[in-house]
Amino acid sequence: MKILEKLSAYNIELPPVPKAAGLYKTVLVQDRIAYFSGHLPIRKDGTLITGKVNLDLTLKEAVLAARQVGLNILASLQYELGDLERIEKLVKLLGMVNAESDFTDHPTVMNGCSQLFLDIFGNESGVGVRSVYGVSGLPLNATVEVEGAFFLKK
């Protein structure tokens, strides 16, 4: 099943392509690697999911915010690559979670994005290496930010 068909089967519509908020490219393709800059949890209506986990949002809400970041990443890749079928596999994700210093469940938050990629690309292609950590703040008080890279087909 093609990726866009899988998205449709999951009743998922990609959000509008996020625009760079500074001097950087949202996606850079070099050889067979598509690197993507930090993406934020921007909803389809353009609003941003903001706040610190366990202070302003529940863990469940933060997981959904990370999933929204994953959708924004897919939208950027679809735009830049022209076809998500060009993706061979996920290489690396780096997640940053806006949380209080005593919060320790950052991996669960990041699972929102990771699970989306697993569901869409499968175990062999949708699971790569990953790091996640807490930060005292993110741009515009976003709840989570994710950057990383995908390996592309020949």
Task: Write out pLDDT tens, residues 95-136.
Answer: 999 999 999 999 999 999 999 999 999 999 999 999 999 999
Asked, for residue 146, whether it belongs to a domain, the answer is yes
Tens of pLDDT, residue by residue over 57-98, are: 999 999 999 999 999 999 999 999 999 999 999 999 999 999
Helices (H), the chain: 3-9, 59-81, 106-126
Number of domains in the chain: 1
- Residue given tokens 């909803």 in the structure block: 43
Instruction: Give the Å distances, CA to CA, from 41 to 31, 50, 62.
Output: 28, 8, 10
Examine the pLDDT at 1 and tell me if it is beyond 90.
no
Q: Decide if 27 is inside a domain.
A: no
**Is residue 24 in a domain?**
no
Question: Does the residue 22 lie in any domain?
Answer: no
Cα–Cα distance for residue pair 148/76, rounded to 1 Å: 12
Residue 43, domain member (yes or no): yes
Structural domain span for residue 54 = 3-15+34-152
Q: Is residue 129 part of a domain?
A: yes
* Within-domain flag for 111: yes
Q: Is residue 29 part of a domain?
A: no
Rounded to 10 degrees, the C-alpha dihedral 151/118/120/105 comes to -110
CATH number at residue 128: 3.30.1330.40
